[in-house]
Chains A and B, each alone.
Chain A
Amino acid sequence: MRNTGIARKSGRHCHGRSDCPEDFDSMIRVQQLVKKFGDFTAVDNVSFDVAKGEIFAFLGPNGAGKTTTIKMLTTLLAPTSGTLEIDGMNPVEKQHEVRQQIGIVFQDPSTDQDLTAWENMELHGALYHVPRKVRKQRAELLLKLFELWDRKDSLVKQFSGGMKRRLEIARGFLHTPKILFLDEPTLGLDPQSRNQLWTHVKYLNQNEGVTVFLTTHYMDEADRVANRIAVIDHGKIVAMGSSAELKAQTEKESLEDAFLVLTGAGIRDEAAGSAEQMRQVAKMWGRR
């Protein structure tokens, strides 16, 4: 395990689990987490810990339960059963306190398309109580970093898919949280932006001690940045460990092969959500 350099305190959260070293100080702690939607079990008895200062990746095929887990960790959804702890607090009971500790880049778009890029950054800064001066400086820096500065006064609805995605990420970095959640952040990004993103994530992790929880289905990314990886499929964690450990466990050369061994080669369907239907309706109405 590459947990070196991580703050060490007591091992009180470990309860003698084998995947948990003695000096483990957890920032995220999940035990027997279950989320059901009617008869469908999206997250099925999942347990894991993420250490302070760690980069932890959730790797899984479409519909494996990654986003549902993130929603529960970020106070957007209440679990059916199980316990959650974010920095020692239960996100169901201490919603507001938990929200003060976290930052999120969502998988789906979450910018306001009827505002400009700059206005989106400003609004985010206000919502996260970033002081005005810092807000302006950081917003400028980030928009330049993600090459959106020239278009800062354009409405987001005029942006291309990649530009919207870049804005989403730039906005996510405007405030410095204790824990950063990245839900498939690189979806639809070009290699340059992808590189920029991971460089920045590593910078935040190493220099500001930000704990990072990310989901992806790009193996190379998980391999490159994550200290530990949990492979999730059909709502269950099927394997957990460092990239090297997962390869060793499956006796494969690459993480991609290891992933296929662990989750099977079948292609997954994700039901077209109501959001997608709505987008089509809205297009017909010419609303956006």
Chain B
Amino acid sequence: MEPIYMLWLREVKRYTRSRPQILASLGQPLLYLLALGFGLGATYQKANGGSYLQFISPGIIGMAVLFSSVFSGIALLWDRQFGFLKETLVAPVPRIEIMFGRTLGSATTSMIQGLLVSIVCLIAGFRPISLSAIPVALFFLLLIAILFAALGTTIGSLIPDMQAFPIVMNFLVLPIFFLSGALFPLDTAPKALQIISSFDPLSYGVDGMRGALVGHSHFGPLVDTIVLICVAIVLLCIGAWRFSKIEI
């Protein structure tokens, strides 16, 4: 177990040591919150949607976790290029343990990132319906953090270098965000879009958090939980399998 703990600790140390990066990564969610939350707020209210800021805050928190998890999973590529990956790959530790340590580390740091963005949302005026909602929301936050950290590790094991990074960003991460219902209500979306969104794991994460924090859920918390756990397990398995096949 010690190797898993040490690799987890490494991810956490690296995260807490990059304070300028933490601040910089809060900029993007803040921008979404300001431009959309306040910019579209009045229009949304006129359409009887209620407060748009209330609506998108869980979506923005979900976005922060998505980006931060996938990025820290992809940091595998940096380790590959800068050599540290080799050090872990030749060690007499089963690769699945190495993968788990890294992935748990990524999930932890993106959880922290999600909590920081939650604080930003609170400052901007977001108010959860009750305090008892918070543990439930944290549970969903944890699930999406693990799920997307596993996705990040899988991508990191599959693509050879950072040149493939824009492709991953444009054809995977951004669609996951925009099609998830983080920014628009799935209830009133066109049927086709609803179907597409139902294949997007982030939809269930955001829906779960929104259900807890705002009191409105599209799929229901049980479906959200089951889908997220299943997808997370599948991605962890694929990630572990791909990670065990890495050659340098």
* A residues with CB within 8 A of B: 71, 74-78, 96, 99-100, 102, 104, 106, 108-115, 119, 122-124, 126-129, 155, 274-275, 278-279, 281-282, 287-288
Contacts and interface: CB of A to CB of B under 8 A. Distances in A.
B247 A96 contact: no
Given A109-B83, A111-B84, A76 B89 contact: yes
Given A99-B90, A123-B10, A124-B91, 4 more contacts: A77-B247, A99-B91, A119-B13, A274-B160
9 contacts: A75-B90, A76-B90, A99-B91, A106-B83, A112-B87, A114-B18, A115-B13, A127-B87, A128-B91
B87 A279 contact: no
Contacts of B6: 122-123, 126-127
Interface in B183-239: none
Q: Pick the 7 closest A-B CB pairs, nearest first.
A: A127-B91, A110-B83, A278-B81, A100-B92, A99-B92, A126-B6, A110-B87
B185 to A, nearest CB: 38
A97 B86 CA distance: 17
B25 interface: no
A201 to B, nearest CB: 19
A84 to B, nearest CB: 15
B3 interface: yes
A162 to B, nearest CB: 17
A104 B90 contact: yes
A127 B6 CA distance: 8
Nearest to B81: A278
A17 to B, nearest CB: 30
Interface in B66-115: 78-79, 81-84, 86-94
B84 A110 contact: yes
Contact of B78 (A74, A99, A282): A282
A96 B87 contact: no
Nearest to B247: A77
A106 B91 CA distance: 13
B10 A281 contact: no
Contacts of B131: none
B167 interface: no
A126 B14 contact: no
A181 to B, nearest CB: 9
A114 B17 contact: yes
Contacts of A77: 247-248
Given A115-B10, A274-B161, A74 B84 contact: no
B61 to A, nearest CB: 26
A124 B87 contact: yes
A128 B247 contact: no
Nearest to B20: A286
A287 B78 contact: yes
Contacts of B160: 274
B125 to A, nearest CB: 34
Contacts of A126: 2-3, 5-6
A68 to B, nearest CB: 11
A274 B248 CA distance: 12
Contact of B81 (A78, A106, A155, A279): A279
Contact of B88 (A119, A127, A288): A127
A141 B115 CA distance: 42
Contacts of A282: 78, 81-82
Contact of B82 (A96, A115, A288): A288
Contacts of A124: 87, 91
A78 B247 contact: yes
A100 B84 CA distance: 19
Nearest to B86: A110
Contacts of A111: 83-84, 87
Contacts of A112: 10, 14, 79, 84, 87
Contacts of A76: 86, 89-90, 247-248
B162 interface: yes
Contacts of B10: 112, 115, 119, 123
B162 to A, nearest CB: 6
Contacts of B2: 126, 129
Contacts of A288: 82
A122 B78 CA distance: 21
Contacts of A128: 91-92
Contacts of A119: 10, 13
Interface in B1-55: 2-3, 5-7, 10, 13-14, 17-18
B1 to A, nearest CB: 10
Contacts of B91: 99, 124, 127-128
Contacts of B18: 114
A71 B93 CA distance: 17
B27 to A, nearest CB: 16
Interface string B163-185: 00000000000000000000000
Contact of A281 (B7, B83, B162): B162
